[in-house]
């Protein structure tokens, strides 16, 4: 670390670090389809949303915070706040409960949300409030609602947003139930992993609304036809998020894969198929399908919601390869 860096004003350091992050996202191509998001990431100060975070250390986590009396530690915190990396923001008994997502992945998801001026957006999973701030910068406070089950998370998100100068609606509640009092929505984006598509969301959407959510280590995009029907495909992008809180279904047990070839057991796309079909398809049947279909990429998979029925599929929602979701 240079003496020059230590002598810089914190605001100058933050601005320089934010500019470097924007350049890194530029190189990733995350917002090529909608470069207006570049201005949002350039304007919204991420460090105000992560006054502290945790990094991996021997035996657990180390807390890094912006009020550390050591100026070198404060600079480490500031530079880490603008790294293109996820940041653990809430840990309990060694378990990660909440995080600030990798900025380039956030940029990709916001671009894929395909928002337009005047769109009302519901975010499931308030986190630090940073994603809601990016949305509010693009659309305006009145068009953004964010919800989280944990009142401590919503309170801190609301505080971070106010400090940064944004005031979208922050709701404490079960994201799986949506926020009907703020409906209808034109876009729903989830920043937590789902096991299925909550059917309560669809009646809260305008016809033609777009839903984007992490599911089975991927990102599903759905187009809503009406309050009973939505359909769409996965993006090619892998995605790993903490689970949606309030989902009381038990985590599926890790399948026994000892009889499968090592390349399949460790292959990211095969693990995606296993997660997507958990409880519906035996791992050895999944492997046979995966080989027969020449290791299909994520974009060949999709999800359909039709009334009470929700199912995943390969290539065709009415084809031979379909699996019910919870």
Mean pLDDT value of segment 172-192 = 97
Name residue, tokens 């292959």: 267
- Average pLDDT estimate for 24-50: 96
Instruction: Report the C-alpha gap between 56 and 75 in whole angstroms.
Output: 18
- 305 vs 248: CA distance, rounded Å: 21
Percentage of residues in the chain having pLDDT higher than 90? 80
Domain boundaries, the chain: 3-233, 262-324
- Region of 295 (left: φ > 0; alpha: ψ -120 to 50; beta: rest) is left
- pLDDT on residue 198: 96
pLDDT digits (tens, 9 = 90+) for 247-297: 544 455 566 677 788 888 889 999 999 999 988 999 999 999 999 999 999
What is the model's pLDDT at position 257? 75
* Model pLDDT, residue 260: 87
pLDDT tens per residue across span 194-219: 999 999 999 999 999 999 999 999 99
The whole-angstrom separation of Cα 189 and Cα 211 is 6
Query: Closest by alpha carbon to 274, among 290, 294, 291?
Result: 290
At residue 229, the pLDDT reads: 98
Flag the least confident range among 91-105, 128-142, 148-162, 191-205: 91-105
For the whole model, what pTM was predicted? 0.92
How many C-beta neighbours within 10 Å does residue 4 have?
A: 7
Give me Rg for the CA atoms of the chain.
21
Say how far apart CA 140 and CA 133 lie, in whole Å.
9
* Surface-to-core class of residue 11, CB atoms within 10 Å of its CB (0-12 exposed, 13-18 middle, 19+ buried): exposed
pLDDT value of position 7: 44
Q: Which CATH number fits domain 3-233: 3.90.550.10, 3.50.50.60, 3.20.20.70, 3.40.50.150?
A: 3.40.50.150
Token reading at 13: 């350091």
Distance separating alpha carbons of residues 23 and 10, to the nearest angstrom = 20
Helices (H), the chain: 3-7, 10-28, 37-43, 71-81, 103-112, 130-139, 151-164, 262-266, 268-276, 283-292
Q: Using 50, 70 and 90 to split pLDDT, how confident is the model at 58?
A: low
Average pLDDT of the residues of the chain = 91
The gap from C-alpha 7 to its chain's centroid, in whole angstroms, comes to: 36
Give the side-chain half-sphere CA count within 13 A for 260.
21
Q: Point out the residues that are catalytic.
A: 98
DSSP 8-state assignment for residue 34:
-
pLDDT of residue 221: 98
Give the length of the chain. Answer: 326
DSSP 178: -
Provide CB contacts within 8 A for 288, sequence distance 6+. none
Contact 82/18 with Cβ under 8 angstroms? Answer: yes
């Amino acid at each position: 670390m240079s003496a020059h860096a230590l002598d810089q004003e914190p605001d100058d350091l933050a601005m320089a670090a934010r500019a470097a992050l924007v350049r890194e996202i530029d190189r990733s191509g995350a917002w090529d389809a909608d470069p207006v998001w570049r201005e949002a990431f350039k304007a919204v100060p991420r460090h105000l949303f992560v006054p502290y975070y945790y990094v991996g250390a021997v035996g657990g986590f180390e807390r890094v915070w912006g009020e550390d009396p050591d100026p070198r530690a404060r600079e480490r915190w500031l530079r880490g706040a603008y790294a293109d990396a996820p940041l653990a923001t809430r840990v309990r008994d060694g378990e990660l409960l909440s995080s600030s997502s990798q900025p380039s992945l956030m940029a990709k998801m916001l671009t894929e949300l395909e928002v337009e001026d005047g769109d009302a957006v519901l975010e499931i999973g308030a986190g630090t409030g940073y994603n809601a701030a990016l949305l509010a910068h693009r659309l305006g406070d009145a068009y953004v609602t964010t919800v989280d089950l944990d009142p401590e998370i919503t309170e801190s998100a609301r505080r971070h947003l106010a400090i940064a100068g944004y005031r979208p609606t922050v709701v404490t509640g079960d994201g799986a139930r949506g926020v009907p009092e703020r409906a209808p929505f034109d876009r729903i984006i989830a920043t937590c992993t789902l096991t299925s598509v909550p059917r309560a969301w669809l009646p809260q959407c305008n016809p033609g609304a777009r839903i984007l959510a992490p599911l089975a280590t991927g990102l599903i995009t759905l187009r809503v036809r009406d309050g009973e029907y939505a359909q769409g495909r996965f993006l090619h992008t892998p995605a790993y998020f903490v689970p949606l809180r309030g989902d009381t279904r038990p985590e599926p047990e890790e399948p026994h894969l000892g009889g499968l070839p090592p390349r399949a057991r460790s292959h990211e796309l095969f693990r995606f198929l296993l997660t997507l079909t958990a409880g519906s398809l035996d791992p050895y049947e999944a492997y046979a399908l995966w080989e027969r279909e020449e290791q299909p990429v994520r974009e060949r998979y999709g999800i359909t919601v039709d009334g009470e029925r929700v199912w995943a599929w390969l290539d065709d929602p009415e084809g031979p390869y379909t699996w019910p979701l919870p």
